[in-house]
Structures are given as C-alpha cells and as structure tokens.
Amino acid sequence: MSVTPENLGDLSRRTLLQRAAAAGLLVTPAVGLLSACAGSDPEKSDDSGTAKSKDNPFGVKDGSAVKVVVFNGGLGDQWAKEDKALFNAKHANITVNMSSTQKIKTEEQPKMSTQPSDLVMNSGADIMDRSTLINEGAIEPLDDLLTAPAWDGEGTVADSLLPGTVTDGTQNGKYYVVNVAYTVWGNWYNNALFKREGWTAPSTWDEFFALAPKIKAKGIAPYVHDAAHGYYPRWAFFASIWKAVGKQPVIDIDNLKENAWKADGIVAALEPWEKLVKDRLLLPGKLDHTQSQQAWLDGKAAFIQVGTWLKNEMAATIPPGFELTVSDYWTKSGDKAAKDVYASSGEGFVVPSKAPNKAAAKEFLRAILSKAGSAKFAELTKSLASTKGSGDNVQDSALASANTLMKSGSQDLISFKFPDYYADLDKESQNLSEELMAGRLTAQQFVDKMQAAADKVAKDSSVKKQTRTA
C-alpha cells in the first residue's frame, strides 16, 4: 500500500471482514471480570525495572517471552514471521511465541479475563467486537506507542503512519487498535482482457451499463460478487452512498441522527446496484469471497469489487498474463464527492489489559510498523502497509493501479463508522446488503430498513452511543 500519504485513511476487508461474528462478544460471566480489570495507565509500562531507551522505549526485559497471535487470512502470515526475525535481531534474548489462526474470537476471547495472549491480531470473520472490548476495559490504550520513537526512522511512531491510521484505531479519545495494513477498494478487472477486446474500463454507471451488453456477447458475466458475506457488497454500497451525498450525511448516519438514511440522494445512489441485479448482469450462484474471486480469475466475469488483499489471497491461482487492475467505484452524474476514494487502515492488533508482557507486545508493534517491516509486508502481500512509503519499491501492476487510484483521489477518504460502533446495526446492514444483491430488496426498501434498524439502536438506552465528529 504505497501512495503519497496525503490522502489515505480508514482499511480492510478484514477490519471489515471483521464484523461478521461481532455480535454477542464477551457476554459470558467473564464480562464482570473484564470490567474490573480495565486498561492500565498508558503512561506506565508493565516492565520490571529494565531501563528504557530509544531502542527499548517500553523497558522490555531480557529473558522474557511475548505471545503473538496473527490472523492468517487473505494477507497470509509470512510477513509476521519476517517481523519476528526483525524483532529478534534487535532483542535476541526475548522469546517470541507466534501462532496463526482464523478463529480469533473462538480461541482468544475466552482468555481475555484470565491470561490472554500478549498481542492479538483481531481480524477476520471470527472477530472480537471492538466496542465491547473497549467498553469492558479488556484492551489497553496504546497512546504511548504513538509517542514512542519510530523503530528505524526519525520522529515518533505516529509520525510514520499514513493519514487516517490513528483515527481508525481511536475510540473514546484513546488509541486502542493498531491497524497494520492499508487497503484500497474498487472495481477490479483484467486489463489484458480489456486490451484484447478493445474495451475501455468504465468510470461511471452509464459507461458500465453501455459496456455490459458487449461483455455478455462474449459469454462473460459483467459482474460477480461475494454473495455469502454481507460486508462485501456493503463496501460497494458505502462507496456509492458517500460519493453521491458526501461526507456530512454519512457522519449523520454514524451518529444515528434522526432520518439520516433518508437524506436526499441515498436511494438514488443504490439504484444502479438494484438495476445491475434486475438486468441479470451478475454471475449466477451464491459464491463466497474466494469462489467469486476464482470465477473472475477464470474469466467468467469482467468485474469484481474487493480490496487490495485480492492478489495475495488468490496468488496461487492467478493465470499467466492476467493483469489485475483496480479502478474506482463507478459514479453517477451529479455525485457530490465523486473523487473521494474508499481506502482505510485495517488488520488491527490489540493488547489485552491482562496480558502478562504488554511492554514486549508494544515493542513488537514498533517492529511491525517499522520501515523494514512494512516494506517486507508490501513485498509479500502486494498490499500497502499503514506505514508511509511501504510500497515505494515494490513493482506490481495491482499495487501500481491502487497507487494511481489514490493519487487521483481527493483529500477525503470514504469511511463509515457505525459498524465499529454498534454490532447489531453492523450485522443488520450486512444482512440487508445480501438481500439487495439477491434481488429481494429494492434500494428504497434497503434504506427504509436501515433507517428502522438505526432508530432501534438510537432509542435503546442500554446501548452506549458513540459520536463521530469528522
């Protein structure tokens, strides 16, 4: 993920892949225990008297051990193994016990109130709900990490991060989640195919609907999508809504403002997706993310919408000569924020409040966010890291097209926050997104049902409300 850091901000499928199983987190008797052990003072380290220095700002003790749990999804885990080697090159006497899994909530949540791992990558479909973790005091504020010296550069860790990364990990005025990846979303196509056929990749919905019959004439479906996970189509809907109405109406949605979903332009923004379904431009079948991506790679569909983890996730089956290229989500005439790009930080690490070696966990995060670590991340995953300049020296067509997209964008990045704030509303938005893409809801019905779901959360006094200001 390397772009000029002027216009980057929020991430990930996984951070967005994230919320599939979020509802119901920490609803066991352990909740009370978690509340009782709320986060430690971010000014203090849990060291044992080891002297702090620029190379050891948290006073990590020689001879200690740190347990790191990595989500092994679309980005794999080899990059994390490289970070382990980087860490041990500086801290040879600290043992790093690293494991990889896709069952983060299943395996890590039960430990949170007893003896959790020291550093957990909270991502994927089986993710622990972020707001619940924070509200229950189950994870540490990490503001001291931001002010610590960068691992291998000048300035602080905060200085080294792409715009939006700190904001994405901040809640209730404190920094809790360290997002290490930076994702750009859009519509992907095979540029080699388009060159062969003489097609021009569309930038507007009108251009897409004009091109679609030519694509179908070649026996190719114009579009394919993940029909098994609602957060996939929801990214596309978010992009269309934001581009149509701009930032403030989205802030109103996130803040549960009365009738926010009924703002002028929101229904119209979703109507092209309704038309895409009604016109039978989708590849048939309830395919999941990898199945839909493979169908696209097999030439069964011309376009798929997904994030920049795509190439790494499908690396083993990309055909020779296939030119993965991402373009921006299509717009309509009159869209107020057509140049705003959907990009964000994600793949978030958290440090449990009861972790036995929080100092080493923070030090390991410094290594992950280093120039060397982030460059290796971009090289291995063909995706940007949340550290500035991570992809500057990576030669790759998919990454290059993402960089081009970012450079052509405006200063604002598309981002919706309510999925981070409210697990039930998050889940409902996923369900309704699936229904719209299945042809069982119109754009108007989708918006009406989202407004009703938002109203329910707004009126529920038991739900702690969050406020988005920018």
**Structural domain of 127:** 13-183+344-396
Q: Is 348 helix (H, G, I), strand (E, B) or coil?
A: strand
Beta carbons within 8 Å of 57's beta carbon, 6+ residues apart: 148, 149, 363, 366
Does the residue 63 lie in any domain? Answer: yes
What are the pLDDT tens digits along the chain (470 aa)?
A: 333 333 333 334 444 333 333 333 333 333 333 433 333 333 344 445 588 999 999 999 999 999 999 999 888 999 999 999 999 999 999 999 999 999 999 999 999 999 999 999 999 989 999 989 999 999 999 999 999 999 998 899 999 998 789 988 998 899 999 999 988 999 999 999 999 999 999 999 999 999 999 999 999 999 999 999 999 999 999 999 999 999 999 999 999 999 999 999 999 999 999 999 999 999 999 999 999 999 999 999 999 999 988 998 899 999 999 999 999 999 999 999 999 999 989 899 999 999 999 999 999 999 999 999 999 999 998 888 999 888 888 788 898 888 788 778 887 889 999 998 999 999 999 999 999 999 999 999 999 999 999 999 999 999 999 998 88
Euclidean distance between CA atoms 393 and 382, whole angstroms: 11
Does the residue 33 lie in any domain? Answer: yes
Residue 96 host element (H or E): strand 95-101
Does the residue 403 lie in any domain? Answer: no
Does the residue 135 lie in any domain? Answer: yes
What totals of helices (H) and strands (E) does the chain contain, helices first?
20, 11
Number of domains in the chain: 1
Does the residue 411 lie in any domain? Answer: no
Does the residue 34 lie in any domain? Answer: yes
Residue 180 host element (H or E): strand 178-190
Residue 327 phi, psi (nearest 5): -125, 165
Q: How far is CA 10 from CA 159, 164, 209, 216, 371, in A?
A: 17, 5, 30, 35, 20
Beta bridge partners of 170: 175
Give the torsion sign (CA, 277, 282, 288, 290).
Answer: negative
Does the residue 365 lie in any domain? Answer: yes
Euclidean distance between CA atoms 78 and 406, whole angstroms: 26
CATH number at residue 151: 3.40.190.10
Does the residue 378 lie in any domain? Answer: yes
